[in-house]
Amino acid sequence: MFGRERIELKSPEQMLLMRRAGLVVADAHAAVRAAVAVGVTTAELDAVAAGVLAEAGAGSSFLGYHDYPAVLCVSVNDEVVHGIPGERELAAGDVVSVDFGAVVDGWHGDAAFSMVVPGAVDDGDDALVATTQAAMWAGIAALATADRLGVVGEAVEDVVDAAHEAGLNAGVRYGIVEDYVGHGIGTQMHQPPDVLNYRTRDRGPRLRPGMCLAVEPMLVRGEQESDVLEDDWTVVTRDGSRAAHWEHTVALHEGGIWVLTSPDGGAEALAALGVQVAPLG
C-alpha cells in the first residue's frame, strides 16, 4: 500500500532550493490560469508554461519523463490527469486541470490546479473544483500535526463525506481516484513514499522533518475507476464523469510545514484551517 522504501530527507538549505523550483511553478500556474479562455488550445497553454521556464532559466520536470512530450499536462472534463497538450480548443464550461513541474539546480517542484473555463460555468463543476481544492488543503493541514502519512487520505475522505452530507453533486458522493497518488519529491519528481488520497488500515510511514511531499487529490463526479487512452498517457474516468485535480509540494521541517509551490507558502489557506505555516529563510 504505502510501501516502505527509503525516504530522502532534505536539509533546510535543500528545501530552499526546492522553494526556487516551487516559485517557478507558481509563476507558471499564474500565467497559464490567465491564458485559459474559450478558443485557446491546450498546446498554447503549454507554450505559455514553457515561456515561464525559459524566462526563469529552469528545467521541466515533465518533458522527457518516460518520454512525456510536453512541459504541461492539461486534462479536460472526463480527463483526470496526464492529458497531453494539443490542438484541442477550450470551450466555455470545460473543467481544465493543469499540472506543471519545474527543476532548479536538480531540485523539483510540482503542483496542479483545476478551473472551469469562464463563460458557462455549471454550479456542479464549480463545486467539484472547490471541493477538490479543499480536500488538498485539508490533507496538507493534517500534515502539520500528525505523526503518520495516512492522515492525508483520512482528511480527503472527510472533506468528501462533508460535501456529500451538504448535498453537493446531486447527492452522489464524489469518487476519489485511487489509481494515481501523491508522492515524495526532491532530487527526482517522483520518490517514495506514496501519498494516498483514501483511508486504509495502514496508517503509513511516520512523518519526519526533512520530508517533502506532493499532496494531490483527484476527485470525480461519478465512480473513481479510470482508464488510460491509446496515447498511453491521458487518464479518463471510465464512466465519463468530470474530474478535478489539485496539487502542492509541501516541506516538513523542524519548525513546521511550508508549501513550496504556493507564493505565500500556504499561509492564507492554512490559516483558515487553524494552521500557521513556517517559512524557511
For 184-208, give one letter per residue: b (16+ CB within 10 A) or e.
bbbeebbbebbbbbbbeeebbbebe
Q: Which of 78, 110, 157, 194 binds Co ion (CB under 5 A)?
A: 110
User: Among 199, 115, 102, 114, which Cα is nearest to 149's?
Assistant: 199
Grid cell listed for 96: 481544465
Report the b/e string of 42-72 with b at 16+ CB within 10 A: bbbbbebbbebbeebebbbbbbeeeebebbb
How many chain residues are in contact with ligand MF3, going by CB under 6 A? 13
Q: Contacting ligand MF3 (CB under 6 A), which of 27, 94, 99, 125? A: 99
Contact 58, 75 (CB under 8 A): no
Stretch that binds ligand MF3, among 50-58, 59-67, 170-178, 259-267 (CB under 6 A): 59-67
Chain-centroid distance, C-alpha 18: 16
Which residue's C-beta sits nearest to Co ion? 214
Give the interface segment with ligand MF3, choosing from 8-16, 40-48, 60-68, 273-281 (CB under 6 A): 60-68
235 binds Co ion (CB under 5 A): no
Nearest distance from residue 144's CB to ligand MF3, in Å? Answer: 21
d(C-alpha 205, C-alpha 4), whole Å? 7
Of positions 214, 218, 220, 251, contacts Co ion by CB under 5 A:
214
Min. distance of Cβ 71 from ligand MF3 in angstroms? 9
- Binding span for Co ion by CB under 5 A among 18-26, 60-68, 108-116, 138-146: 108-116
**Least distance from C-beta 201 to ligand MF3, angstroms?**
25
**In this structure, how many other beta carbons lie within 10 angstroms of the beta carbon of residue 181?**
21
> Which option in ligand MF3, Co ion, none does residue 27 bind, with CB closer than 5 to 8 A by kind?
none
- Give the one entry of ligand MF3, Co ion, none that residue 154 binds, where binding means its C-beta sits below a cut-off of 5 to 8 angstroms depending on kind: none
- Specify the stretch interacting with ligand MF3 by CB under 6 A; choose among 32-40, 63-71, 203-211, 256-264: 63-71
Assess 216 for contact with ligand MF3 (CB under 6 A).
yes
Per CB under 6 A, the list member of 10, 82, 242, 248 interacting with ligand MF3 is 82
For position 73 contacting ligand MF3 by CB under 6 A, the verdict is yes
Q: What is d(CA 8, CA 157) in angstroms, rounded to the nearest whole number? A: 27
Measured from the CB atom, is 183 or 221 closer to ligand MF3?
183
Q: What are phi and psi of 219, to 5 degrees?
A: -115, 150
Length in residues, the chain: 281
CA dist 62 and 84 (Å) reads 11
Rounded distance, CA 148 to CA 142, Å?
A: 10
Question: H/E element holding 121?
Answer: none
Per CB under 6 A, 247 contacts ligand MF3: yes
SS3 assignment, position 126: helix
- The contact pattern for ligand MF3, residues 108-137, with x = CB under 6 A and - = no contact, is --x---------------------------
Binding positions for ligand MF3, rule: CB under 6 A: 62, 65-66, 68, 73, 82, 99, 101, 110, 183, 214, 216, 247
Which parts of this chain interact with Co ion (CB under 5 A)? 110, 214
